[in-house]
Structure 1
Amino acid sequence: MGTIVERKRKDGSVGYHAQVVVRQEGVTHRETKTFDRKAAANSWIAKRERELSAPGAVSGKKAEDPTLGAAIDRYVAESRRALGRTKAQVLKTIKTFDIADKPCSTITSADVVAFATELSAGRQPQTVANYLAHLGSVFSIAQAAWGYQLDPSSMQDARKVTSKLGLVAKSKMRSRRPTLDELDRLMTHFGGVRHRRPGSLPMQVIVAFALFSTRRQEEITRIAWADLDEEGSRVLVRDMKNPGQKVGNDVWCELPPEALRIVQAQPRAGDRIFPYTTDAISAAFTRACAFLGIDDLTFHDLRHEGVSRLFEMGRTVPLAASVSGHKSWSSLQRYTHIRKAGDRYAGWPWLAVVTATDQPHS
């Protein structure tokens, strides 16, 4: 901590005696300097404390200076929290860019801006923003946790610049909802695939459950029979996605009657209700949409459709959240413009198909 002492000189003027004391790895360093102005003394203290805080600046030991790619590898290896598929893939992709080969100590905000500019070729500003957000996690801890000379302020400055240049932007709220005709075509297609190949994924069941339960793809594949409370018409959703926490964020969510009926029709052949992988589900859904010419529809849009349905049926925000699992009701505000319009899935013929107990099982 720096100190400033006012001292009167023989000529009557005042001098400001500044001192910094820094202790690093058992070595104490003291440094003093006198200034005519107090503001100059404060600036010098701030500058010297910042410089002397660098690893090895006081002790003389050479600080480790790995490449950014190596720092990313260490972050991935030592993170106790599950990174998630998207973040892991983004960090892996960043390692293929030139910035990953630079030593941490040499990376400036200009390097990060250049990286963002390179990323922007063929990518939306929202995607570039996600890349910088995930890379920012490495910048935020590398110096404090490992002593790497990776300046977190470089990322902060770069994000301000890229925003001004329009290289990054906030993600847009998707409003895409499948039409009943699109769902009819998808269900017909998946039924045909299942008839030809009984061992294929029961995508009709998975699509319908996603819609009525509002569950995310990865949540569906994690649900175990032990997590089901049939009497209470609810299910324990483990590791639910949440901005502040994911691992250990287990939430009891209400199962609407249609979703419960679908679950009860499934064979109890193992621990999980839907023993499939997210990659397989995603690939099957994407292929079907491409084959049928259904544009800009993702599996996650089924969750949006399910939540929209709840509001159309007259659910309040708290009641909708009891199904969707949203902790923050503000996340559901975009749905509140939806007026009560009844249930367009009343009498939906596919519900009888997916709840039949004589379905082929893999």
Structure 2
Amino acid sequence: MATITARKNKDGEIIGWQAKIRRLGFPVQSATKDSKKAAEDWAKVIESEMIRGVYVDRSKAERTTFRETVETYIRDVATTHKGGRDEGLRLTRFLRDESKLAAHSLATLSTRLFEEYRDRRLKSVTAGTVKRELGLLHTVIESVRKSHGMIENPISDVRRPTVRDARDTRLQPGEEEKLLQHCRDARNPWLTPAVILALETALRRSELLALRWDCVDLDRLHAHIPDSKTGKGRHIPLSPRAYEVLWQLGTEARPTDGAVIGTTAEGLKQAFERARSRAKMEHFNFHDLRHEATSRLFERGWNIMEVASVTGHQDLQMLKRYTNLRASDLAKKMG
């Protein structure tokens, strides 16, 4: 039988209830709960598992806070990922804004706690953002679940919010030149070539910034992307407009690290947001340039395999999300 004792502070006030289990063949197990009933319930579960031979030592999970787990993930795991910087920023925000949730031990994390987190976040950010955050937090817990004696991941049973974020944003007549004009007025000289190349190649922003001159072959009119988001490399054909931009960049001073676009992700992001604001196009994101470029390839008569070889999409459903064809252009094909 478990021993349940009250834990008191120096003033004699009860601050918790400790359950301690001593059973032959098992290490001593103890846990402190907020109420006597919670301590008794915990003890019943542990003793039942011992009797049934399915007991898992949770002591490590009880000693480790969620904050410690997240901090370890940021330091040791996220740094090995391509998107590790973004993961680190998201998790750092989580620790800053969710200090109470982060203070829980791994053993006391529950589905209800993360459902409450989901509902709080949905009041200030989109469903897609919340879904991605829950996925990342699930990955964090999963990275230590077995080693810390956690039988289940509490986020596994959290219902994810429905995401309806398929975008149909296309550049309307006159908008491309208007946007580029304000890009040319930007202090960041890399903004205009980056926007044009995004429109001509359908490259992601991260791929543009990772592109090196030793991967650009102007004679053969292609650029090699050795490592993309999908983990596979691909060759990108260069249009006359893309060739012109790259040729011009190649004749100017190149960054010492060999990058084609010599700015940072944050620098490019801020410059683009200021330019679109001046152009009164706040609805248009940098990633929409990839949508636009993909749709233009289809409108030029490219088949799906040809487009996928450029964009790097692995399946039709994903490619469909990035493709928005103008009805007027499709009508021309109807004779």
| TM-score after normalising by structure 2 | 0.74
**Residues 269 and 125 from structure 1, CA distance in 2 versus in 1: closer, same or farther, beyond 3 angstroms?**
closer
Partner of 2:11: none
Deviates more, 1:279-288 or 1:261-270: 261-270
Q: Quickly say closer, same or farther: Cα 1:300–1:337, change in 2 above 3 A.
A: closer
CA distance 1:109–1:94, change in 2 (3 Å):
same
Quick check: which has more Rg, 1 or 2?
Answer: 1
Distance 1:321 1:261, change over 3 A: farther
Q: Which runs of 5+ in 1 are unaligned?
A: 1-26, 30-43, 57-61, 343-362
- Local SS of the residue matching 2:162: coil
1:210 paired with 2:198, answer yes
Q: Aligned partners of 1:208, 1:63: CA distance in 2, in Å?
A: 51
Match of 1:99 in 2: 101
Whether the 8 Å CA contact 1:176–1:301 is kept in 2: the answer is yes
1:265 paired with 2:248, answer: yes
Task: Identify the residue that residue 173 of structure 2 maps to in structure 1.
Answer: 180
Which residue does the alignment assign to 2:319? 332
CA distance in 2, matches of 1:317, 1:85: 33
* Structure 1 residues 181-220: Cα deviation after superposition (integer angstroms, max 9, x where no partner): 2222122222234xxx5xx323222111110011111111
Report whether the alignment pairs 1:232 with 2:217.
no
Judged with a 3 Å threshold, the aligned counterparts in structure 2 of structure 1 residues 341 and 63 are, in CA distance, closer, same or farther, namely closer
Which residue is 1:127 aligned to? 129
Do the aligned partners of residues 173 and 139 (structure 1) sit closer, same or farther apart at CA in structure 2, a change above 3 Å counting? same
Q: Is the 8 A contact 1:311 1:339 kept in 2?
A: no
In structure 1, what is the Cα distance between the partners aligned to 2:207 and 2:302?
Answer: 23
Give the counterpart letter for 2:205 in structure 1. Q
Q: Report the Cα distance in structure 1 between the residues aligned to 2:217 and 2:203, rounded to whole angstroms.
A: 16
Residue 168 of structure 2 aligns with an amino acid whose one-letter code is S
2:278 is the alignment partner of 1:291: yes
Shift of 1:48: 3.4
The DSSP-based 3-state class of the residue aligned with 1:156 is coil
3-state DSSP of counterpart to 1:204: helix
Contact 1:234–1:253 under 8 Å retained in 2: yes
Aligned length: 277
Match of 1:48 in 2: 52
The residue matched to 1:294 in structure 2 has which SS? Answer: coil
Closer, same or farther in 2 for the Cα pair 1:89/1:152, shift >3 Å? farther
Whole-angstrom CA distance in 2 between matches of 1:69 and 1:241: 28
Match of residue 251 from structure 1: 234
Where 1:252 maps in the other structure, the secondary structure is strand
Q: Which runs of 5+ in 2 are unaligned?
A: 1-23, 27-47, 331-335
Distance 2:274 2:114 in 1: 36
Question: What CA distance in whole angstroms lies between the structure 2 residues aligned with 1:328 and 1:306?
Answer: 18
TM-score (norm 1): 0.69
Residue 180 (structure 1) shift: 3.5
Structure 2 equivalent of residue 136 of structure 1: 138
Matched-pair contact (CA < 8 Å) for 1:139–1:152: no
Structure 1 vs Structure 2 CA RMSD: 2.8
Alpha-carbon distance in structure 2 between the residues aligned to 1:125 and 1:208:
31
Percent identity over the alignment is: 22
The one-letter amino acid of 1:259's match is A
Contact 1:107 1:150 in 2 (8 A): no
Letter in 2 for 1:236: H
The secondary structure found in structure 1 opposite 2:223 is: strand
Tell me, what secondary structure is at the counterpart of 1:236? Answer: strand
User: What is the identity, as a one-letter code, of the residue corresponding to 1:54?
Assistant: D
In structure 2, do the counterparts of structure 1 residues 339 and 314 end up closer, same or farther at CA, with 3 Å as the change threshold?
Answer: farther
Q: Report the counterpart of residue 90 of structure 2 in structure 1.
A: 90
1:278 alignment counterpart: 265
Matched, 1:303 2:290: yes
**Structure 1 segment 137-176 matched on structure 2, within 5 A:** 137-144=139-146, 147-150=147-150, 152-157=152-157, 159-160=158-159, 163=160, 168-176=161-169
Give the distance between the partners of 2:294 and 2:320, measured in 1 at CA: 11
SS of residue matched to 2:236: strand
- The one-letter amino acid paired with 1:156 is S
Contact 1:234 1:252 (8 Å CA) reproduced: yes
Quick one: which of 69, 72, 84 aligns to 2:67? 69
Letter in 2 for 1:75: Y
Q: CA deviation at 1:306?
A: 0.3
* Contact kept? 1:256, 1:323, Cα under 8 Å: no
2 CA distance for matches of 1:63 and 1:214?
A: 45
Query: Counterparts of 1:170 and 1:150 in 2: how far apart (Å)?
Result: 30
- Partner residue in 2 for 1:346: none
